[in-house]
Amino acid sequence: MNDWIEPTEFWKGKRVCVTGGEGFLGSYVVKELKARGAEELFIPRRREYDLVQLPAIKQLLADAKPDVIIHLAASVGGIGANLAHQAEFFYDNLMMGTQLMHESYLAGIQKFVAIGTICAYPKFAPIPFREEDLWNGYPEETNAPYGLAKKMLLVQSNVYRSQYGFNSIYLLPVNLYGPGDNFDPESSHVIPALIRKCIEAKVRGDKSIEAWGDGSPTREFLFVKDAARGIVLASERYDGDLPINLGSSFEISIKDLVETVAKVTEFDGEIVWNTDRPNGQPRRKLDVSRAKELFGFESQVDFETGLKETVEWYKNQWAHQVLNLER
């Protein structure tokens, strides 16, 4: 299977700005754009452009002069980070998105691709999550501030299209994983957190690892290369006002996930469930039919293949460094 698809004419001559382009998802989107024929890419760095600040946004647009903006930049983390930084996550994501879209409209940007989050869905949305259910309830409490801040991009996108004719689309990727993910135990999501726990426990000879909650919630995961391909396909082919899910349709319980990660990392110790820690949203599984219908996106990488690739990347790139520091 090829990682990247054939170049197209769409990107030729277009200047493309990818916020968050040095991050986990962003780095794969940039690779995909290059493979699809994009040659004029502008990747703003946070130390040079703090997109929470309006003057930095105006400077970015003046410097980049983009035709297309793919807005991936976000303040984000797992359950622990969301609980510890609710205010920052709400404010930073709201200010980045709202001001960047408004200034992009004023600057005459041809297309704005807004990346939302699965955390925008109601806590008890019917399974599978359908885009039309986005407004039928309040998000799960631990990540609601982040989810609602990103959800405002959908509102803004729709009203700017309606009133100004501004071409902005809104995509909802499910939980991502893959090589290059964030493995920091203070801010990582569940898959990299579990991979690190299992590998370090195995090397140290620990008899057990701790997992949060009771293992009953379910999650859907999308390999990062698939997510990047979906975003670029939507950027090329979709110009509508409907929000679009990007997912794999593969649902797994946290209990089965922990056991699968332990198997792949060859950790054979006990899994201790800390039920004093939150479970998060009870279930997450997407209806992905709209993405297939409107711009031909389907995931290609099955979960176990993607997980093995992620584990091998972590072993090769980071595990030995972390363990050497801890000795």
Least confident segment among 162-176, 178-192, 247-261, 312-326? 312-326
Pairwise CA distance, residues 41 & 323, whole Å? 37
Q: What is the pLDDT of residue 282?
A: 85
Residues 6+ apart with CB under 8 A from 102: 156, 160
Q: Are strands 251-253 and 218-223 parallel, antiparallel or unpaired?
A: antiparallel
Q: What is the pLDDT of residue 2?
A: 41
Q: In this structure, how many other beta carbons lie within 10 angstroms of the beta carbon of residue 217?
A: 20
Q: What is the pLDDT of residue 80?
A: 72
Q: Provide DSSP, 252-271.
A: EEHHHHHHHHHHHHT--SEE
Assigned CATH topology for domain 15-326: Rossmann fold (3.40.50)
Give 11-23 pLDDT, tens digit per residue.
999 999 999 999 9
Q: Is 193 exposed, middle or buried (0-12, 13-18, 19+ CB in 10 A)?
A: buried
CA-CA-CA-CA dihedral for 228, 231, 236, 239, to nearest 10: 180
Residues with active-site annotation: 146
Least confident segment among 88-102, 134-148, 183-197? 183-197
The partner residues of 42 in beta bridges, in order of sequence, read 17
User: pTM for the whole thing?
Assistant: 0.91
Instruction: State phi, psi for 23 to the nearest 5 degrees.
Output: -85, -170
* Residue 305 Cα to chain centre, angstroms: 19
- Percent with pLDDT over 90 in the chain: 81
Where do we find the tokens 């709202």?
98
Domain regions of the chain by residue span? 15-326
Give 71-122 pLDDT, tens digit per residue.
999 987 666 776 788 899 999 999 999 999 999 999 999 999 999 999 999 9
136-162 average pLDDT score: 95
Pairwise CA distance, residues 307 & 303, whole Å? 6
